[in-house]
Amino acid sequence: MLALLQRVREARVEVAGEVAGAIGAGLLVFVCAEPADTEASAERLVARILKLRIFADDAGKMNRSVADVGGGLLVVSQFTLAADTGGGNRPSFSAAAPPEQGRTLYEAVLRIARERHAGPVAAGRFGAEMQVHLVNDGPVTIPLQIR
């Protein structure tokens, strides 16, 4: 699975002008499933996200996780993370999982995050045209790949 994490002061996702999900401080997590991914991949991804130390401690060092700070998670499906731009000017997305598998694994990530994270967990809407609004904190943006 592929993920792109952005440490945010706040973030929200809108679908057709309605807020689908929103958080205060925490992580905006864009998620993309690949064909070889399984629910075990989703479990490893969530575990890694919850433990990744990218929030400042009292000394200003990135030493705390989203779980440590009680931050929110806003999880958004984004198949374009699997883009292959090596073959010209139009990206190929053939490395992304097929839509049904992608939906199943996205929903697994959400379920697992809600089971394991004490803070708020919000979501976008799979397959929808979404507008994502965020205030990146830092800025801190971390790519993450789970095999």
Tens-place pLDDT, residues 127-144: 999 999 999 999 999 999
| Whole-number percent of the chain with pLDDT over 90 | 97
Amino acid 18: pLDDT: 97
Q: Hey, what are 57's tokens?
A: 């401690």
At 87, the pLDDT band (50, 70, 90 cuts) reads confident
At 103, the pLDDT band (50, 70, 90 cuts) reads very high
CATH number corresponding to 2-145? 3.50.80.10
User: Which positions ≥6 away from 76 have C-beta within 8 Å?
Assistant: 13, 21, 28, 29, 30, 31, 123, 124, 130, 132
Active site residues: 78-80
Q: How far apart are CA 126 and CA 116, in angstroms?
A: 21
| CA distances for 35 relative to 28, 30, 53, 54, 78, angstroms | 23, 17, 28, 29, 14
Coil, strand or helix at 117: coil
At 88, the pLDDT band (50, 70, 90 cuts) reads confident
